Amino acid sequence: LTEVAWIVRFEDGREEERQYFPQHTTDGADEDALTLTHYAERIAPQPKTPMKEWLVQFLEDADGAVIVGAVPDFDVNHLSRACRKLGVEPTWDHHLLDVETLALPLIAPGPESPRSLAKTCRALGIPHDKDQAHGALYDARQARAVFDRVWEIYAELRAEGAPLPPPVPRLAADAAPAADDAGASADATVPTADPADAATTEVARPPI
């Protein structure tokens, strides 16, 4: 892991953001992944934090919480591996909430595989900056924006008794270049053992 970031949402509505750049090596890292995450200019210069510091903070924040994210099982695999290295147990709820799947009924005409975070954001009218994409904290914020937008839409529909909004074509005419959407998830194009990876998530407390 080269970067980890998460947002803690408390029951009273408060939110706290965390961002760390773990101690790591890039030996054997995928060069495309390093380029995608802007490693040289954005990550390499940052002070590095030992795993025992950032992981302990995450486990405290995630205690009993549901992890919300874009392909959260990918992040959880990395986090679980980190827990094993430190000899500690995961604290988060076993339910995971993938925002790309959560949004599908509102943007797709029928059952289909989840779209990338970039495409999901655009379909919901959420601005998405391809230059910031794949940064851990930015992706966590985008996952939160999708999560909140989905529930806003459902709340509006319930209040108005209105039908679902019209579907958005998967290959919309105004879609950004394919490179922007490599993130179906872009991290998933990197072997899970590759250190050039960013864990991004939102921690919803208490369990939902």
CA triple 182-186-188, angle to 5 deg: 130
Q: Which of the 8 DSSP states describes residue 3?
A: E
pLDDT value of position 131 = 86
Report residue 167 CA to chain centroid gap.
23
pLDDT value of position 205 = 55
pTM, full prediction: 0.79
The third-level CATH classification (topology) of the domain covering 3-172+197-204 is Nucleotidyltransferase; domain 5 (3.30.420)
Long-range contacts of range 150-156, CB-CB < 8 Å, 24 or more positions apart?
Answer: 150/99, 150/102, 150/103, 150/106, 150/124, 153/106, 153/124
- Is the per-residue pLDDT at 134 higher than 90? no
- Is the per-residue pLDDT at 184 higher than 70? no
The region of weakest confidence among 56-65, 88-97, 182-191 is: 182-191
Q: Where are the domains positioned within the chain? A: 3-172+197-204
Contacts of 58 (CB under 8 A, 6+ apart): 4, 6, 18, 79, 203
Percent of the chain past pLDDT 90, that is, above it, reads 62
Q: Each residue of 20-57: pLDDT tens digit?
A: 999 988 888 888 888 888 888 888 888 899 999 999 99
The tally of CA atoms less than 13 A away on the side-chain side of residue 91 is 16
- Is the per-residue pLDDT at 180 higher than 80? no
pLDDT value of position 107 = 96
Report the alpha-carbon distance of residue 51 to residue 1 in Å, rounded: 10
Q: Each residue of 55-86: pLDDT tens digit?
A: 999 999 999 999 999 999 999 999 999 999 99
Mean pLDDT of the chain: 84
Q: Each residue of 193-205: pLDDT tens digit?
A: 333 444 556 655 5
Q: Is 4 helix (H, G, I), strand (E, B) or coil?
A: strand
